[in-house]
Amino acid sequence: MTHSATVVLAIDLQVGVLEGCFDVAGVVARTDALVARARREGVPVVWVQHEEAEMPHGSAGWQLMPGLAPAWGEAMIRKTCCDAFVGTSLRDVLDGFGAKRLVLAGAQSDYCIRATAQRGVTEGYSIVLASDAHTTADAAFGGVTISGEQIVAHLNRSIGGLACPGIAVDLATHDAVAF
């Protein structure tokens, strides 16, 4: 697989999104290391940022976490729902790179990471989830509280279930992702 066939998606690593999430400093550091390695190896990086009324474009919460910064020329995608493909130019950007495989890292494992991974598969992309470079906050439903750490572990355990015939879905730590 050529370098241009793989693209790293850094999803929602924003100040307002990461508030209350599990292992924020570790996830940011590991994502930064993944992005740096991708750049060294000539693999494109696409940054995805969520915005909504409570976190408008340009606001303090909308900003990427300190220490994370797109390099000159890296694509920036602005989204307004969990699935980074909906209402955005992501598909066009990926097509421009000749992408066949997406490496996902970022925030809201149970929403934006999962939704983008699922959509990526239905769009025909193979997926690699960076198992130690995604996070989410604790959640509660029906009187049951689920920790962010448990949600991350659950997505890591279940990600392979997204695979379809001819489309690989894999899991690797940030430092073991093969480009």
- Sheet strands side by side (includes 75-79): 75-79, 45-50, 6-11, 101-107, 126-135, 169-172
Residues 6 or more apart whose CB falls under 8 angstroms from that of 25 comprise none
C-alpha span between 165 and 63 (Å, rounded)? 38
Judge whether 112 counts as a catalytic residue: yes
Q: Which of 21, 81, 82, 112 is catalytic?
A: 112
C-alpha span between 18 and 40 (Å, rounded)? 27
| CA angle (147, 164, 38) in 5-degree steps | 65
Catalytic residues: 112
